Structure 1
């Protein structure tokens, strides 16, 4: 009947991060911060949780002598996101 919801994606900020990354090839940390209106510290913690789960990759580099952090969703992340949406549908339209 009701499918279990992935607790990692059931957080509002982590779900927002994944939603953004599902629609782009990759995104800079500053872009995600702007779109989610999260603080840098909170966003950093949530990005690391998604990275540790294997849902996203995080690449750190430099651009014009400034640190640049880029996030990209992984195949595992895509699968988890799609499974989460399917589970959520079981709550919206119970059989």
Structure 2
């Protein structure tokens, strides 16, 4: 695996969660779940993995008497996402260049 890719972000759900969170200050669990089109348990596992890596902060609280969970990308998480995306773009550009060169043979 290229060094610039974050192994944690190879999983599509974790990548989608961090990408969504990078565009906002924080989001309620249900909003992230709905955007990523996953179940509560899938999002919970992804959020736990991202939190353990320091990419996401999980905050629990209440709205009235109802428990709520909010997720937020950390500074480290935003940096990891940016680096991961930059490496993907580099890989695509290198592959396109190699393909174009190969096509001239």
TM-score range, shorter chain: over 0.9
1:4 to partner: Cα distance: 4.0
Higher RCO, 1 vs 2 (CA within 8 Å, ≥6 residues apart): 1
Question: Conserved in 2, the CA contact under 8 Å of 1:28 and 1:70?
Answer: yes
Structure number with bigger Rg: 2
Superposition map of 1:11-50 within 5 A: 11-50=11-50
Deviations 1:18-43 (A, max 9, x none): 11101111000000011111010111
Task: Point out the structure with the larger helix share.
Answer: 2
CA displacement 1:31-66 (0-9 Å, x = unmatched): 001111101011100100000000010000011211
Count matched residues: 94
Gaps of 5+ in 2: 98-105
TM-score (norm 2): 0.85
What residue number does 1:70 align with?
A: 70
What root-mean-square deviation, in Å, do the aligned CA atoms of Structure 1 and Structure 2 show? 1.2
Unaligned runs of 5+ in 1: none
SS of 1:9's equivalent in the other structure is helix
Q: Secondary structure at the match of 1:93?
A: helix
